[in-house]
């Protein structure tokens, strides 16, 4: 029987959450990353631990079928690889930054300047599009140190909290792109493996949907049920259960994580009381 070969970062920013996602999908990985190839008992899948930066090539060559990797890396490597699903973690951006003493945030600052980066293709394409000519100096890590040691006038690198820039006396000026972890697939997959992938993506969607939603329940006087129901962004219609106390009901529904504070105020204003918000484990709709 076919097994879907999935590449996961061996160690680094994506490792923990990639494994957690598999776990949330009910896929239990047998043992640790000391082995580069690991089997799974309860799903037709084989895990391969690889370096994030090598994964686009492995996908292109069909050495692995799917992979969890940083979207920015797919853009940098310019491979013809399809992103199947954004995964919502390892969110970051690729940005230009300058020494904090530089007074301008304008891109034109970089005209004729030297920029250190680990993402030369992303930078080159961006600068070309913007009509700026710079000297791109490729380094594989610790890019933020470059201006301090006189290696460059600015940098182009990954920024998340901004603390690495701050510690190195740099300031973010221009964002080239935003990135997050994605599930990507090799250009050619057998029908059998496509079917396994479909099952896997179905599970991922259920996990992600649940993460972004909350179960909400509240007590409402019967005469306010209509009003409160109108405020709730419901899946179909809210569940309404009579309470033991005459004239009151309990309303249950599901709301988006992002919207719940906003909705709670409206619910209270419309007569809802004793509002509970509960996490959801999986959600299939």
Ligand X SMILES: Nc1ncnc2c1ncn2[C@@H]1O[C@H](COP(=O)(O)OP(=O)(O)OP(=O)(O)O)[C@@H](O)[C@H]1O
Task: Supply φ then ψ for residue 167, to 5 degrees.
Answer: -65, -25
Q: Among residues 260, 238, 261, 263, which one has the least CA distance to residue 251?
A: 238
With CB cut-offs between 5 and 8 Å by kind, which of ligand X, ligand PRP, none does residue 162 bind? ligand PRP
Q: CB neighbours of 76 closer than 8 A, spacing ≥ 6?
A: 119, 120, 121, 122
Query: Which among ligand X, ligand PRP, none contacts residue 53 (Cβ within 5 to 8 A by kind)?
Result: ligand X
Is the Cβ of residue 164 or residue 229 nearer to ligand PRP in the bound state?
164
Residue of minimal CB distance from ligand X? 70
Among the listed residues 18, 52, 134, 168, the single contact to ligand X using CB under 6 A = 52
Q: Pick from 18, 72, 117, 186 the residue near ligand X by CB under 6 A.
A: 72
Q: Which of residues 172-201 bind ligand X (CB under 6 A)?
A: 179
By a kind-dependent CB cut-off of 5 to 8 A, residue 73 interacts, out of ligand X, ligand PRP, none, with ligand X
Which of the listed partners (ligand PRP, ligand X, none) does 14 bind, with a CB threshold of 5 to 8 Å by partner kind? ligand X
HEC string for 222-283: HHHHHHHHHHCCCCCCCEEEECCCCCEEEEEEEEEHHHHHHHHHHHHHCCCEEEEEEECCCC
Beta carbons within 8 Å of 182's beta carbon, 6+ residues apart:
68, 69, 70, 71, 74, 83, 84, 85, 86, 87
- Cβ proximity to ligand X, 13 vs 282, nearer residue: 13
Segment near ligand X (CB under 6 A); pick from 37-45, 67-75, 120-128, 253-261:
67-75
Q: Token pair for residue 58? A: 């492995």
51 binds, among ligand PRP, ligand X, none (CB under 5 to 8 A by kind): ligand X
Query: In terms of CB distance, is 42 or 161 closer to ligand X?
Result: 161
Q: Within a 10 A sphere around the Cβ of 22, how many other Cβ atoms?
A: 23
Count of alpha carbons within 13 Å of 101, Cβ hemisphere only?
A: 4
Does 14 sit near ligand X (CB under 6 A)? Answer: yes
Locate 11 and state its tokens. 């160690």
DSSP assignment letter at 52 = G
> Which of ligand PRP, ligand X, none binds 253 (CB below 5-8 Å, type-dependent)?
none
For residues 13 and 199, which CB has a smaller minimum distance to ligand PRP in the complex? 13
Q: Does 154 participate in binding ligand X (rule CB under 6 A)?
A: no
Find the helix packing angle between 15-24 and 191-211, rounded to 10°: 100
Closest approach of ligand X to the CB of residue 136, in Å: 18
Residues near ligand X (CB under 6 A): 9, 12-14, 51-53, 70, 72-73, 90, 92, 158, 160, 179
């Amino acid at each position: 029987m076919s097994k879907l070969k999935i590449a996961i970062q061996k160690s680094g920013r994506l490792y923990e959450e990639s494994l957690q996602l598999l776990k949330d999908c009910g896929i239990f990985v047998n043992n640790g990353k000391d082995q580069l190839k690991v089997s799974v008992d309860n799903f037709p899948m084989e895990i391969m631990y690889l370096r994030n930066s090598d994964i686009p090539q492995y996908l292109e060559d069909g050495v692995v079928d799917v992979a969890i990797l940083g979207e920015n890396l797919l853009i940098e490597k310019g491979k013809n690889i399809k992103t199947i699903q954004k995964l919502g973690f390892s969110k970051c951006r690729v940005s230009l930054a300058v020494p904090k003493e530089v007074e301008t945030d304008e891109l034109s600052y970089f005209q004729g300047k030297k920029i250190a980066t680990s993402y030369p293709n992303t930078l080159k394409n961006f600068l070309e599009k913007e009509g700026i000519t710079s000297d791109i100096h490729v380094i594989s890590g610790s890019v933020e140190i470059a201006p301090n040691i006189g290696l460059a006038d600015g940098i182009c690198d990954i920024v998340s909290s901004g603390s690495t820039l701050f510690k190195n006396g740099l300031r973010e000026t221009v964002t080239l792109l935003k990135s997050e972890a994605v599930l990507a697939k090799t250009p050619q997959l057998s029908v059998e493996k496509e079917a396994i992938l479909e099952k896997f993506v179905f599970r991922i969607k259920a996990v992600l949907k649940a993460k972004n939603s909350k179960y909400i329940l509240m007590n409402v006087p019967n005469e306010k049920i209509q009003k409160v129901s109108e405020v709730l962004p419901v899946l179909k219609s809210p569940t309404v259960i009579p309470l033991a106390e005459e004239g009151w009901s309990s309303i249950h529904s599901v709301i988006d994580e992002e919207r719940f504070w906003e909705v709670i105020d409206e619910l209270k204003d419309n007569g809802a009381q004793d509002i509970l918000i509960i996490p959801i484990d999986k959600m299939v709709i």
